[in-house]
Amino acid sequence: MNRSDIELIFETADNFKTVLNRPIKKVPSLRDVTIANIFFENSTRTRLSFELAEKRLSADVVNFAASSSSVSKGETLIDTVNNILAMKVDMVVMRHPYAGAGIFLSKHVKAQIVNAGDGAHEHPTQALLDAFSIRERYGDVAGKKVVIVGDILHSRVALSNILCLKQLGAEVMVCGPTTLIPKYIGSLGVKVEHNLIKALNWCDVANMLRIQMERQDIKYFPSLREYTMMFGLNKQILDSLDKEITVMHPGPINRGVEITSDVADSKQSIILDQVENGVAIRMAVLYLLAGQTQ
């Protein structure tokens, strides 16, 4: 995606956000379009957000959970999706534990595929809604300093955010334990910092990521308690900074680990705005992609 693609999605999302704040929150834009939500991994916010976006656009929605499907009987990904498409489904929203699953699928089936997260690789709509939320808060993303703190190594949100923010002209820094910062990260044109206070004093926006225990096959740091002491954001740290920064989190929040409750619920936090913007962004993505299919 290039900058003009992202700006087009943002402008479309602006219009849909107006729709979402009306008493009647529905538009007939995708009437008679059928969308399948295929989730091979657990999800709350993303699945609900996509489903709401689809219903607000008047699409017909089919939900599919891999754990209760024929995938558990050994059916392949392509067969699963082709069977769903044979029932005349127009678009597929997919989350998968393996990197590149969405790209792979798009080369083998005739349907629009929306990536709702592929393993530790990318999560494009999350990056779009994060950048959209920064734009909403500051008026523009260009020139803003954004630090992404936490488990960068296993985070699909971090990679997509870096790529999206760089396209929009923001400065990006990553901060976390050395073991959770990927070796190649410098090649993406981002700064690296291991001191949380220095990173927070540098930034305008701090995006706090959770530690992804379910993706960690070895111990990357001694304990969660030590991680919290070194990289957890609390109100005391927030109040001690030279300026007022904006705090973001893609969710789910592990309160008391990467971020304390008083920070998550403070006026500097735009975490719930991100969730609200997620529906508008996903409406925009689905609407623009559906226009390509017709």
Would you kindly state where each structural domain of the chain is located, as residue ranges? 3-122+275-293, 124-274
The CA dihedral of 156, 287, 10, 279, to the nearest 10 degrees, is: -60
Work out the pLDDT band at 109, boundaries 50, 70, 90: confident
Work out the pLDDT band at 150, boundaries 50, 70, 90: very high
Q: Determine the pLDDT at residue 217.
A: 67
Q: pTM value?
A: 0.94
Work out the pLDDT band at 214, boundaries 50, 70, 90: low
Does the pLDDT value for residue 71 go beyond 70?
Answer: no
Is 73 annotated among the ligand-binding residues? Answer: yes
Query: Tell me: the pLDDT tens digits for 6-65?
Result: 999 999 999 999 999 999 999 999 999 999 999 998 888 899 999 999 999 999 999 987
Residues 6+ apart with CB under 8 A from 119: 96, 97, 98, 99, 101, 156
Is 225 annotated among the ligand-binding residues? Answer: no
The per-residue DSSP string of 128-162 comes to: HHHHHHHHHHHS--TT-EEEEES--TT-HHHHHHH
Q: Determine the pLDDT at residue 70.
A: 67
Average pLDDT over residues 89-109: 93
Report the C-alpha gap between 111 and 92 in whole angstroms: 7
Q: In percent, how much of the chain has pLDDT > 70?
A: 95
Is 251 annotated among the ligand-binding residues? Answer: yes
| Residue in the structure block whose two tokens are 């059916």 | 75
Report the C-alpha gap between 5 and 71 in whole angstroms: 35
Work out the pLDDT band at 66, boundaries 50, 70, 90: confident
R_g (Cα) of the chain, nearest Å: 19
Domain 3-122+275-293 of CATH type 3.40.50.1370: yes
Structure tokens of 164?
Answer: 């999206």
Does the pLDDT value for residue 177 go beyond 80?
Answer: yes
Q: Determine the pLDDT at residue 286.
A: 98
Is 255 annotated among the ligand-binding residues? Answer: no
The per-residue DSSP string of 8-21 comes to: HHHHHHHHHHHHHT
Listed residue (129, 131, 185, 117) closest to 153, CA to CA: 185
Listed residue (228, 212, 230) closest to 260, CA to CA: 228
Listed residue (176, 140, 118, 133) closest to 276, CA to CA: 133
Contact present, 220 and 152 (Cβ < 8 Å): no
Is 123 annotated among the ligand-binding residues? Answer: yes
Q: Which residues of 105-123 are buried (b: 16+ CB within 10 A; e: fewer)?
A: bbeebebbbbbbbbbbbbb
Is 252 annotated among the ligand-binding residues? Answer: yes
124-274 has the same fold as 3-122+275-293: yes
Report the C-alpha gap between 15 and 280 in whole angstroms: 8
Across 52-66, 211-225, 274-288, the highest mean pLDDT is recorded for 274-288
Is 167 annotated among the ligand-binding residues? Answer: no
| Residue 72, helix vs strand vs coil | helix
Look at phi and psi of residue 100 and say left if phi exceeds 0, alpha if psi is from -120 to 50, else beta.
left
Q: Which amino acid is at 163?
A: L
Output the average pLDDT for the chain. Answer: 93
Q: Determine the pLDDT at residue 68.
A: 62
Report the C-alpha gap between 125 and 113 in whole angstroms: 13
Pure H helices in 156-246: 156-167, 196-202, 224-231, 235-240
Q: What is the CATH number of domain 124-274?
A: 3.40.50.1370
